[in-house]
Amino acid sequence: MANAEIGVIGGSGFYSFLDDVTEVQVETPYGPPSDSLFLGEIAGRRVAFLPRHGRAHGLPPHRINYRANLWALRSVGVRQVLGPCAVGGLRPEYGPGTLLVPDQLVDRTKARTQTFYDGLPLPDGSASEVVHISLADPYCPEGRSTTLAAARGHGWEPVDGGTLVVIEGPRFSTRAESRWHAAMGWSVVGMTGHPEAVLARELGLCYTSMALVTDLDAGAETGEGVSHEEVLKVFAANVGRLRTVLFDAVGGLQPSETRDCLCSHALDGIDTGLELP
């Protein structure tokens, strides 16, 4: 039986250099995940990689089956998730190449299923309970400090904390939206961080976001605004060092069975009615 302990939701650039990767197709009660899971080993830890947008990058952020993705990871044994993603900087000092490890999240998406506990019958006919979990601190404190240390270890001084605002997309923000996000004091803007972090917490998984700034958002720069080509170019230029930091973070994470962080206790005393894999 295929198994892993740590999950990485990101592009194929993160696992394509590993030897000995096993592709596993996972079915979930919520439909198919974005792609197969790709299982491999880093620093003696079993890791499951999931290409967030599918291996051919065919899934836009608003059409990703986030529930299936998190469920699939948990079902192969994953308890800690690292989520590298591309974001736009909302402040001039967060230019391309900045690595920010957010500690807060704002949801400005509009049309995404964002809970496992919606009270509706599940595909297998059983009813889900109405469950309210705490998301006051949306990211794993242990995962964050491990990731920050890994970045510093490679001389890439990360931004420790900040707010990731997630928009529906797939379009980028208008200048007015972007200036508003910045005026609220938020740090970076992306399209996939929500509901990924929420759903991880609902399953009792640790989740850590690693936000790579690929461009200055429309309100923070003075040119034409963000283009997709720009984003891809900066991401490609940084994916190597992001992968290095990610691999180090994987090796530095505590063993999943000894977790004692708030995420590991998210479901304590709650009857979810779900048979968690």
Catalytic residue list: 215, 217
41/58 Cα distance (integer angstroms): 27
* Size of interface with Zn ion, in residues (CB under 5 A): 4
Tokens of 152: 């510093």
For the chain, the helix, strand and coil percentages under 3-state DSSP, each to the nearest 5: 30, 25, 50
**Near Zn ion in 47-106, by CB under 5 A:** none
- Cα Rg, the chain, nearest whole Å: 18
Q: Are 125 and 192 in contact (CB under 8 A)?
A: no
* Residue range at the interface with Zn ion (CB under 5 A); choices 26-34, 81-89, 161-169, 199-207: 199-207
We find the least distance from the C-beta atom of residue 48 to Zn ion, in angstroms, to be 17
Cβ proximity to Zn ion: between 20 and 257 the closer is 257
Cβ proximity to Zn ion: between 65 and 80 the closer is 80
We find the least distance from the C-beta atom of residue 6 to Zn ion, in angstroms, to be 12
Cβ proximity to Zn ion: between 36 and 80 the closer is 80
The secondary element (H helix, E strand) that includes residue 23 is: strand 22-24
Q: Are 214 and 235 in contact (CB under 8 A)?
A: yes
* Closest to 117 (Cα-Cα) out of 135, 102, 130, 99: 130
We find the least distance from the C-beta atom of residue 200 to Zn ion, in angstroms, to be 9
Residue 263 found at the interface with Zn ion (CB under 5 A): yes
* Residue range at the interface with Zn ion (CB under 5 A); choices 172-180, 192-200, 206-214, 268-276: 206-214
* Residue range at the interface with Zn ion (CB under 5 A); choices 70-78, 88-96, 102-110, 137-145: 137-145
* Closest to 209 (Cα-Cα) out of 198, 218, 224: 198
Q: Are 205 and 266 in contact (CB under 8 A)?
A: no
CB atoms within 10 A of CB 19: 6
Cβ proximity to Zn ion: between 51 and 84 the closer is 84
* Residue range at the interface with Zn ion (CB under 5 A); choices 7-15, 157-165, 189-197, 202-210: 202-210
We find the least distance from the C-beta atom of residue 113 to Zn ion, in angstroms, to be 23
The single residue among 206, 218, 226, 250 that binds Zn ion, judged by CB under 5 A, is 206
**Residue 221, C-beta contacts closer than 8 angstroms, at least 6 positions apart:** 92, 215
We find the least distance from the C-beta atom of residue 269 to Zn ion, in angstroms, to be 17
> How buried is residue 13: exposed, middle or buried, by Cβ count under 10 Å (0-12/13-18/19+)?
middle
42/6 Cα distance (integer angstroms): 10
Cβ proximity to Zn ion: between 189 and 205 the closer is 205
> Residues in the site for Zn ion, rule: CB under 5 A?
140, 206, 261, 263
